[in-house]
Chains A and B, each alone.
Chain A
Amino acid sequence: MLNIFKKTAIAGAMILSAGAALAEYPEKPIEVIVGYSAGGGTDVMARTAAPFIEKYLGDGASLVVKNMPGASGQIGVTEAANADPDGYTLGTFNLPGMMARTIDREAGYDRDSFTYLANVVNDPNVIVTSKASGLDTLDKLLEEAKANPLAITVGMSSLGGDDHFALIKLEQATDTEFTIVPFKGSAPARTALLGGHVAMGILNISEVAEFQDQLNVLGVATKERSQFAPDLPTFKEQGLDLVNGSMRGFIAPAGLPEDVQAKLIDAFSQLSDDQEFLDAMAATANPVEVVTGEEFKQLTSDLYDLANGVWQTTPWN
């Protein structure tokens, strides 16, 4: 009963807000739900992007970041998916994590729950080895992996994350097998690598940029060299087809009024040409790659299919 009432109220509010939106969006503060604590990578992205989005939306628009941490971002993204689609609640979105969570546990959303605005950060995977391992080139690593299956220990931040999918792609492409050691987060994994407790690691480029002298960075999983560390070769250059990374962007609930959606996407697409924004992101170790609207939706869908495919053959929990 209460539910029906609520639904009618929301429907009514939608009609009203749609009408109002035609006139002037935004006319009140826009809330951005971040699924992590203040100070995390996703939070820093949202807070760095917020003033620029305000600038491009114009009309004195204001974005307010709200942290709803917990369950690797799932609490926040669920909240964003179920918010009123009036353009006044946006959320941050992480790939492949948010899609992988719809596969490995029950989630209150799926890939159709969102209006895809823009992916802003693409942090490609890198393969690193510890100095102690002596495996300082990709060839040496693969040779050892083929000679002794499962002998190489691979530190990474978790199972079912971008690091894990990168490893699975590597294993499939080179017909090798590794022993996975999933730490809680990338910093502990990186520390174990520095201390030589694991031989190899799959991390993201932003996480190893400061440690290039202490670790062997064997390559970057991008199509072209990353702007973030232009002296690192890609795997493609080394004859290995491996492209993978961790992505962070912005979504709104599904069913956003079209003009609001257009205005938001327009604002986000201007980020990629804003040098001031690019500098601010570089300072916080966020490699920028803006992908908007339909393309972002397609990207999400592809990653879902990848994760689902992996889950069907080798479920990780």
Chain B
Amino acid sequence: MTESRKSRLTRPETLTAVGIILVAAGFLVPTYDLRAISALLPAAMLIGLIVLSVFLLLADQRKASAGEDAAPMTKAPKRVIGAFLMIVSYALACDFVGFYVSTAVTIPLVAWTFGYRSPVGLLIATVIVVGTIWAIFDFGMSQDFPTGRFWGR
């Protein structure tokens, strides 16, 4: 029994192969402006990526015709997307609001959201981590972390 046409095209490996081909082709455009010798290695790699991805695509589609199910990327897509979003917003928050505030909020927030719910444990962990970072980097090494673009200089 073969899969439906749509699910054949949304197999993770097929999507990845198509993605690589598109991105690599996109990167090929700026190589035209480079000197030949300067463009040689990057262009070779990009063409290599495209050719290999075509092979990958064909291999995966052959598996699909043979009726092999593709393994899903994750069993818990919501948790994975949530984790990614939290990491990205943490980075953005550090950049715009400031490192220490964001870190003090993020550690308990992430741990709590993903299942560690002991208030005492969260408090202790946050205090230890933020305190140690401050003591070593700021106090000890006078290393500056982002203070937040939002507040200006």
Contacts and interface: CB of A to CB of B under 8 A. Distances in A.
Q: Tell whether A pairs with B.
A: yes
A173 to B, nearest CB: 29
A66 B153 CA distance: 15
Sorted from nearest, which 3 A-B pairs have the closest CB atoms?
A66-B144, A84-B153, A9-B152
Contacts of A9: 152
Interface string A64-80: 00100000000000000
Nearest to B35: A317
B65 to A, nearest CB: 50
A147 B58 CA distance: 60
A299 to B, nearest CB: 31
A153 to B, nearest CB: 17
Interface of B: 144, 152-153
> Which size class do A's interface residues fall under?
under 10
Contacts of B153: 84
4 contacts: A6-B152, A9-B152, A66-B144, A84-B153
Nearest to B153: A84
A314 to B, nearest CB: 15
Contacts of B152: 6, 9
Contacts of A84: 153
B52 to A, nearest CB: 30
Contacts of B144: 66
A9 B144 CA distance: 25
Nearest to A9: B152
A9 B152 CA distance: 11
A6 B153 CA distance: 11
Contacts of A66: 144
A6 B149 CA distance: 13
A83 to B, nearest CB: 9
A66 B152 CA distance: 18
A84 B153 CA distance: 10
A147 B152 CA distance: 63
A9 B153 CA distance: 12
Nearest to A317: B35
Nearest to A66: B144
A255 B20 CA distance: 50
B111 to A, nearest CB: 34
B1 to A, nearest CB: 56
Contacts of A6: 152
Nearest to B38: A317
B2 to A, nearest CB: 53
A67 to B, nearest CB: 11
A53 B106 CA distance: 42
A6 B152 CA distance: 9
Interface string A52-67: 0000000000000010
A84 B152 CA distance: 12
Interface in A161-180: none
A89 to B, nearest CB: 9
Nearest to A6: B152
A39 to B, nearest CB: 15
A3 B144 CA distance: 26
B99 to A, nearest CB: 16
Nearest to A89: B153
B37 to A, nearest CB: 12
Interface string A4-18: 001001000000000
A264 B153 CA distance: 23
B153 to A, nearest CB: 8
A146 to B, nearest CB: 29
